[in-house]
Amino acid sequence: MKYTLKIITVIGFFILSTGQSFAAEEKKKEPEAKIPEIQKSVTHHTGKFNGQTVKYTVTAADTHLKNDKGEAVASIFSIAYTKDGMKDAAKRPVTFMFNGGPGSASLWLHMGVFGPKRIDVPSDAQNAGAAPYDVTDNPLSLLDVTDLVFIDPVGTGYSRVIGKGKGKDFWGLNEDAKSVAKFIQIYVTKNKRWNSPKYVGGESYGTTRTAALVKELQQGYNSMALNGLILVSSILDFQTTDGASANDDPYVSFLPTFAAVAWYHGKVDKQGRTLESFVDEARKFAINDYSVALLKGNRMTDAERATITKKLSLYTGLSQQYLRHARLRVNEFRFMKELLRDQGKVVGRLDGRYTGTEEDDAGESFEADPSGYGISAAYTAAINDYFARDLNVVRDERYEVLSFKPGRNWNWKQGKNWTGGYPALGNYVARGMRQNKDLRVYVANGYFDMATPFFGTEYTMAQYGMDPKRITMDYFEAGHMMYLHHPSFEKLAKDVRQFILDGRK
């Protein structure tokens, strides 16, 4: 799930100690986290995936990371699915997956689309309500073509800081990538998979992590060349999504998504158009007219401003008066509240198909995202029930589905010489492709995703000298988690399977 810099900011916490009065208050040392025993559960299963019967082993286990002194600093929990009876496992692909946040566990991709079990929520963007939920076999899981390892980064799931470790050692662009890269290196070593084709995939901030992993894993003489990247609802360059008074890029990036959401809710003229053709019109308007108008600002003539305002209204479904008051700049939060204000509804951020009602209709932003609270309880119930019933994973501690602690303390600095601004990791992918002739990229985009807009991703993939022949751009009539929509779930599973099959030498 996605929380950009707009929602998650780096906040400083100060702890004031109490006690007797001293001339200089003694600084308390943060207590060392205990080192728990490694827990591991191994179970055996049989499933039918893409028409093939597969016997497989599930290993749900902790992996302890150590510092240069050999001291334990973190415990990473993962769920690995491996096909049984492979005579030459080195030739079978292994795919590492995770979600985003930062602060999200990997249950969304795990239980939503790629794992052998799947939580089935309403396809038509209706609230999933309360238990019981429908957890079913997933015949479209990728286990027929690749082993799967779902990773919970430190601070999510059952993964924890332990021993000499501190949160700041893992919660940041570089820190997070180093720890996940270390886990992957440990996994392929212990399981003799160094010569296996390797894919890395993430959703939302997980795509940011994936780009950082390209740099972390592929560069240097101890490198691990990757066969492919799977980017679901991608965000690599944050200047395309994080709006500010001095940054107009997001307004351009979001416009085609606004057009798609307005189309879905019947707020624009559909006569003689398809969703795809209407979105393409919005793309052209955004890059050729709207971007120039924002660049001109007060230098526009009255006639130019009137023309742009009228067209912007036609593509967004917002009134010309509202757009004039907003100086032609409407961020996603204002759009979600304004689009259906006349109906007393707010639309979802993660998925603009969803709607909700709130205490009043006068605010600028929603109380909560209806596309978040509409499905979160179902996924939380599904992963916990699946762990206990199928995988024999029962622990006293809570499985952290989405912890805000990592995000609130995230270090967004991209490098030693970073002086501020927006993280931009598209160049990591481009460099990785230049240095590895076999590295391919699959990108899944939801038309109704107002967390990671597809036009911003298109911008990124068109920059840095990336090889377009090795990039597959895929689109879905759904939102951030396109697999909530049944036709999109089927298409995503099919297309990612084909992406992996196409990588066979």
pLDDT at 30: 58
pLDDT at 221: 81
CA dist 455 and 467 (Å) reads 18
CA dist 464 and 348 (Å) reads 32
pLDDT at 244: 65
Every domain of the chain with CATH number 3.40.50.1820 lies at 40-47+60-123+138-239+375-501
355-365: b or e for each residue (b if 16 or more CB lie within 10 Å)?
A: bbebeeeeeee
CATH architecture of 40-47+60-123+138-239+375-501: 3-Layer(aba) Sandwich (3.40)
Structure tokens that stand for 49 in this block: 């995936």
CA dist 147 and 86 (Å) reads 11
H or E element: which one contains 372? helix 370-373
Q: What value does the CA radius of gyration of the chain take, rounded to a whole number of Å?
A: 23
314-349: b or e for each residue (b if 16 or more CB lie within 10 Å)?
A: bbbbbeeeebeebebebbbbbbbbbbbbeeebbbbb
* Closest C-alpha among 72, 79, 76 to residue 62: 76
Residue for token pair 């040392």: 29
- Is pTM, for the whole model, over 0.75? yes
pLDDT at 21: 36
pLDDT at 23: 35
pLDDT at 468: 96
pLDDT at 421: 83
Distance, CA of 443 to chain centre: 12
CA dist 128 and 242 (Å) reads 30
Render 114-164 in DSSP notation, one character per residue.
ISSEEEE--TTS----SS--EEEE-TT-GGGT-EEEEEE-TTSBT-EE-BT
pLDDT at 498: 98
Q: What is the pLDDT along the chain (505 residues), one digit of tens a residue?
A: 444 444 333 323 222 223 333 333 334 555 677 888 999 999 999 999 999 999 999 999 999 999 999 999 999 999 999 999 988 878 899 999 999 999 999 999 999 999 999 999 999 999 999 999 999 999 999 999 999 999 999 999 999 999 999 999 999 999 999 999 999 999 999 999 999 999 999 999 999 999 999 999 998 888 999 999 999 999 999 999 986 667 999 999 999 999 999 999 999 999 999 999 999 999 999 999 999 999 999 999 999 999 999 999 999 999 999 999 999 999 999 999 999 999 999 999 999 999 999 988 888 888 899 999 999 999 999 999 999 999 999 999 999 999 989 989 999 998 877 767 889 999 999 999 999 999 999 999 999 999 999 999 999 999 999 999 999 999 999 999 999 999 999 999 999 999 999 998 7
pLDDT at 243: 67
